[in-house]
Amino acid sequence: MVTLEELSALDLLVWHRNGKSAAGISGCNQSTISRRLSRALEAFQLTMRRCRGEWELEGPTLLLQMERQLHQLGRLLGQEPLRLEISPYVAPFLVRPAPPGWTLGTLDHFGVAQPLRLLHDRVIDAWVCDMALELDSEELPELRVLPLYRQPVLLAADKEHPLARIDGLSLAEFGRFPSLRLPEGALPRMEARLAALGFGDVPVQLRRYDPADWEGRTADGVTLTYTTPFNRLLQPGLVPLRAAPLLQSGGCLLCRRDVADHGAIEQLHGLLCSRLHHWSPRLEQLEPI
Amino acid sequence: MATHPSLPVQLLPLPFQRGVGAIDRDPDRLTMRLRRSLPVLELDAVDSSLPFLHRSASLGAGSLVVHAAAHSALHAVNRPQEAAVFTMPLAGEKRFLLGGHTWVCRAGESSLYLPGEGYSVDTSVASGVILSVPPGRLAATAAALAGRPEGAVAPVERPVLLREDDPRQGHLLAMLRRALGLIDHATLEAGARLHLSLGLDDFIERLLALLLYPGLLESPAPAAGIDPADRKAFARLQEAIRADPMDPTWNLSAMERFSGLSPQRLQAVCQEQLGSDPLRWLRLLRLCQARRVLAQGLPAHELLPLAMRSGFTGLAAFSSAFRARFQLDPTLLALPDPADGPSA
């Protein structure tokens, strides 16, 4: 048997990746998290290992998943705060302040695989994804996808880039400049689209989103990156290049289908929509749904 | 907590009955409520010289029906039916007679699964939860959990006694109590729609399936390298500890000495047999024993000594572990100290 605190220690560590953050959320010290974690792992006969910067569990997980479902039901019934992860590009607009009754995640996921896993395993209750392009609802039958907005993805560069203010260029004309390559497998559809257009020749070692390691790479005045309406507000040093969009994507709220009709999810969806409408006049080319 | 002077023990709050379910004196009303899902042939108070008191509530969710009831001592006879009955006492004792065999189910000690056979039952003053669900439904759930086609798993058609002091079963029973604890009186008023939409009925059915089909939880990898002699030694050790789990001399060293097993072999055989490590299992036994002691009536001032005997350093740690296991605060089970009563 594990207590609520022991399972929380395990899941908060998986979600937030380190004991310090887990301890901060739980209101205890790191050694307490460590003790609780040991007991949870022992009770479920699991081991943990790091894989590409994320914790993975090894061992039989049926009982763990049952416990997680029970904990999620408890959270939905108000026993503890619900857990929300959100893309770093939209977090400053949609979850400041945090929605009432929700606790926030690391806000630094670059790709979709890890948030999807957290959602599937009921470690988190909802996730706001800003790359809906990467989600195939047929491959995610257990998830409900609630669309929030549509947005284009544009080429962008430092405002001092030689082509920054030139109109009427085709995408092909930017091909002679270096452009950032997405971390392998993080956003596979966008990666394929960029590759097809001839972009993505500058490899970037990036496990978690950090503007210094991504947009910061354009400070040389020549390297190209990609931007969205949200990112344009966050990175005033970047300018979108005056060419056709690279692709159309969008943002959405995801949760497990079996909890999607719960009032807490509906309220979160409503709050996100209302905050989106508040910001939309300043978000060029973004279309709230 | 609600008390009544004519009852020898306190009526316990029920998992989803907080704030609802007024005390009723008519046994026929309890019979009628139970008959909504159980084929109760007769139900009588055991002691007609005392008023028969009961509180009850029920909730239908999908194919599952959940009854919670607290009542005076009673005798009841049920006809055979299609649905199986799973009874989980929270206070008191129930003796079921079926097929010429008696099954005793005690709070904090055991819960009982009965297939659809007819039976008679005698209870003490008791409270608890009864779940009614078709055995075929549980078999289908088990098949789904095992990734096998529907119909590949046979329904369980014999009584199964589930023990709190078995680590695997105890864990699932604790989860079941917590799941039932999520059903509160607001849900009853809302007609259960909320919990149906959250799939709580499905969750409870899966827990019941895991209890009845323990193979679903077993690790696919067989335990290698465990000597049959180690298993025998561990069986003797289990017997000795179960005889007196509160004996303060039981610790890891004592367990190793008694069994003659090295620390590694003791860990391995305990893990294989009980899915737990020895000290965790000892703590579970002591908590179950403490639950029994409390059910027999323990004054509140003896709670701390009980906590110490159970291997805890203080009342707070004991209460926390007790609540986690039984979803009950041990102080609610303790009898009020005489000095705490109203003065004359």
- Both B70 and B129 in a single domain? yes
Asked if B41 and B177 sit in the same domain, the reply is yes
Q: Does A3 touch chain B (CB under 8 A)?
A: yes
Are B207 and A60 inside 8 Å of each other by CB?
A: no
Average pLDDT over residues B240-256: 85
Other CB atoms within 10 Å distance of the CB of residue A32: 16
Mark whether B184 and B279 lie in a shared domain. no
| Domain finish residue from B187, B217, B247 | B217
Domain A152-247, CATH homologous superfamily name and number = Periplasmic binding protein-like II (3.40.190.10)
* B197 and B236 both lie in a single domain: no
The interface residues of chain A toward chain B in range 66-95, judged by CB-CB distance below 8 A, are 66-67, 69-70, 73-74, 76-77
Q: Report how far Cα B231 is from the mean position of its chain's Cα atoms.
A: 28
Bridge partners (DSSP) listed for residue A109: A208
B18 close to A (CB below 8 A)? no
Residue of A nearest to B200 (CA): A73
For B301-316, the pLDDT digits (tens) are 888 889 888 888 788 8
Looking at the fold, whether B322 and B264 belong to one and the same domain comes out as: yes
pLDDT of residue B263: 78
pLDDT tens, A196-234?
888 888 888 888 888 888 888 888 888 889 999 998 888
Asked if residue B2 has pLDDT above 50, the reply is: no
Provide the number of structural domains found in chain B: 2
- B258 and B291 together in one domain: yes
Checking ipTM against 0.85, whether it exceeds it is no
Q: Report chain B residues whose CB lies below 8 A from the CB of A76.
A: 198
- Using an 8 Å CB-CB cutoff, list chain A residues near B320: 3
Answer for the pair A204, A211: CB distance below 8 angstroms, yes or no: no
- Per-domain residue ranges for chain A? 1-79, 152-247
d(CA A38, CA B142) in angstroms, rounded, equals: 30
Between B175 and A60, residue with greater pLDDT: B175
Of A43, A77, A261, the CB nearest to B182: A77
Q: Are residues B157 and B90 located together in one domain of the fold?
A: yes
Q: Which residues have a Cβ under 8 Å from the Cβ of A98 and sit 6 or more positions away?
A: A84, A104
Contact yes or no for A1 and B320 at CB 8 A = no
Mean pLDDT of chain B: 81
Domain end marker among B180, B198, B217: B217
Which range, of B88-92, B115-119, B223-227, B276-280, averages the lowest pLDDT?
B223-227
**Six-digit token string for B333:** 């089970």
Residues of A in contact with B275 (CB under 8 A): 45
Report helix, strand or coil for A285: coil
Q: Across chain B, which distance is largest between two alpha carbons, in Å? A: 68
- Contact between A8 and A26 under an 8 Å Cβ cutoff? The reply is yes
> In this complex, do A45 and B175 lie within 8 Å of one another by their Cβ atoms?
no
Distance CA A127, CA A206 (A): 21
Cβ contact, residue pair A66, B325, below 8 Å = no
For residue B67, give the nearest of B23, B32, B25 by alpha carbon: B32
B137 at interface of A, judged by CB pairs closer than 8 A: no
What pLDDT sits at residue B5? 38
Say yes or no for a CB contact (<8 Å) between B203 and A66.
Answer: yes
| Residue B17 lies inside a defined structural domain of this protein | no
CA distance B288 to B330: 12
Percent of chain B residues past pLDDT 70, beyond the cut: 85
Domain final residue pick, B174, B189, B217: B217
Pick the residue with more confidence: B162 or B271? B162
pLDDT-based confidence at B344, cuts 50/70/90? very low
The beta-carbon neighbor of A66 closest among B197, B199, B207 is: B207
Q: How confident is the model at residue B15 (pLDDT cuts 50, 70, 90)?
A: low
Do B44 and B178 fall within a single domain?
yes
In-domain check, residue B5: no
Is A289 in contact with A149 (CB distance < 8 Å)?
Answer: yes
> Does the beta-carbon distance from B324 to A3 stay under 8 Å?
yes
Interface touch A73/B182, C-beta < 8 Å: yes
CA-to-CA distance for B152 and A47, rounded, in angstroms? Answer: 32
Q: What is the pLDDT of residues B34-92, one digit of tens each?
A: 887 788 999 988 888 888 888 877 777 777 888 888 888 999 999 998 899 999 988 88
B247 and B268 belong to one structural domain: yes
Say if residue B182 is in the same domain as residue B290: no
Mean pLDDT of all residues in B125-153 = 87
- The verdict on B128 and B156 lying in the same domain is yes
- Residue B207 to residues A104, A278, B218: CA-CA distances in angstroms? 30, 45, 15
List, for residues B195-212, the tens digit of each pLDDT value: 555 677 888 998 999 999
Give the whole-angstrom CA distance, residue B157 versus residue B125. Answer: 29
| Domain harbouring B268, CATH code | 1.10.10.60
Residue of A nearest to B210 (CA): A63
Chain A residue closest to B323 (CA)?
Answer: A3
**Chain A contact for B319, CB < 8 A?**
no
| 8 A C-beta contact, residue A254 and residue A127 | yes
Enclosing domain of residue B240: 228-333
Most confident region among B193-202, B295-304, B329-338 by mean pLDDT? B295-304
Chain B residues in contact with A67 by the CB 8 A cut-off are 175
Which residues of chain A, if any, have pLDDT below 50? none
CATH code: domain of residue B37: 2.60.120.10
- Classified by CATH at the fold level, domain A1-79 comes out as Arc Repressor Mutant, subunit A (1.10.10)
- Helix/strand/coil for B32: helix
Instruction: Judge whether B36 is closer than 8 Å to chain A, CB to CB.
Output: no
Identity of the highest mean pLDDT range in A247-251, B23-27, B335-339:
A247-251
The 8 Å CB, 24+ separation contacts for B242-250 are B242/B165, B242/B285, B245/B282, B245/B285, B245/B286, B245/B288, B245/B289, B246/B286, B246/B289, B246/B309, B246/B310, B248/B309, B248/B311, B250/B282
Q: Is the peptide bond before A97 cis (omega within 30 degrees of 0)?
A: yes
Looking at the domain assignment, is residue B294 inside a domain? yes
Which residue, among B173, B178, B213, would best test binding to A if mutated, counting the most A CBs under 10 Å from its CB? Answer: B178
Q: Contact, A76 vs A19, CB < 8 A?
A: no
Q: Is residue B3 part of a domain?
A: no
